[in-house]
Structure 1
Amino acid sequence: MYTKQEAASLKQAFWTAFGQYMSLHLSADGGKANWINYKTGEKNIYFRMNAGNKTASIGIEIAHPSDGIQHLYFEQFEQLKAVLHETLNEEWIWQKDVQDETGRYICRIYTFTEGVNIFKKEDWPAIISFLKPRILALDDFWVSAKYVFEALR
């Protein structure tokens, strides 16, 4: 078992290593990207990556303070579902109105893998291999899809 400080240090080391590894990749639009803290350019739409002691996940979170606008954004993603899944080369899980870790209701589109542990350095390559192609595919999707969401502002 790790202390909170040790756990935080290992997590920070993983995300630093992941960021350094991903820094070799340009965004689909040709620019530099902050892959760990990806900026969609749309307030309340986030690309999230997480890793813990049992799973790693990646997804899109819609967390607008207005339920109506949040649902409108989710419905727009549903309109783009085929394009998203084609770009990702897989189908993801779609959840409307689920509680996040803070108790706030959000909409989420995500996937995950089990059997990996961020606290085991020998699992880091598997976590990176899971996250890397998916964040790159999300970026590729977003380069063309973001304009649809700009029109909803």
Structure 2
Amino acid sequence: MYTREQASRLKQAFWTTFGQYMAVIPSAEGLKTNWINYKTGHKHLFFRMAADKHTASIAIEISHPDLEIQALFFEQFEVFKELLQETLEEEWNWQLHAVNEYDKTISKIWQEIHQVSVFKKEDWPQLITFFKKRILALDEFWSLAKYPFDALK
């Protein structure tokens, strides 16, 4: 078992390693990108990656405080569902209006893997492969689909 400080340092080391690995890869539009803190251009729309002692996940997270606007964002993603799945080369989970760990209502579209740990360095290659493929696919999707979302700003 790790102390809180040790766990924090290991997580930070993983994300630093991932960031360095991804730093040389340009976005679909040819731009330098901070892959860990991906900017969608929308205040309440995020591409989030997370890893803990049992799972890793990547998600499109919609956190707009107005639940009707949040639903409109979600519906807009549903319009692009076929393009998203083709770009990702897999189906993801979809959930409208879920409550997150901070008691905030969000909507999300996500994929996850189990039986991996950010605390095991031997799992890092699998985690990096999982995140890299999907964040690059999300970026490619977003480069094609982002403009209709501007009306929801």
TM over 0.5: yes
How far apart in 1 are the matches of 2:123 and 2:39? 27
Written as runs of structure 1 = structure 2, the 5 A alignment for 1:132-143 is 132-143=132-143
Q: CA RMSD in A?
A: 0.5
1:151 CA displacement: 1.9
Query: What amino acid sits opposite 2:123 in the alignment?
Result: D
How far apart in 2 are the matches of 1:108 and 1:97? 8
Report the secondary structure of 1:113's partner residue: strand
Tell me which residue corresponds to 1:4.
4
TM-score, reference length from structure 2: 0.99
Tell me which residue corresponds to 1:127.
127
What are the superposed Cα offsets for residues 12-40 of structure 1, whole Å, 9 maximum, x if unpaired? 00000000000120000000000000000
TM-score, reference length from structure 1: 0.99
How far apart in 2 are the matches of 1:110 and 1:125? 20
1:152 CA displacement: 2.2
Alignment partner of 1:106 is 2:132: no
1:109 CA displacement: 0.1
Superposition misfits of 4+ residues, deviation over 2 angstroms: none
Query: What amino acid sits opposite 1:132 in the alignment?
Result: K
Give the share of equivalent positions with the same residue, in percent.
58
How far apart in 2 are the matches of 1:65 and 1:152? 13
How far apart in 1 are the matches of 2:81 and 2:43? 21
Q: Between Structure 1 and Structure 2, how many residues are aligned?
A: 153
Give 5+ residue unaligned stretches, structure 1.
none
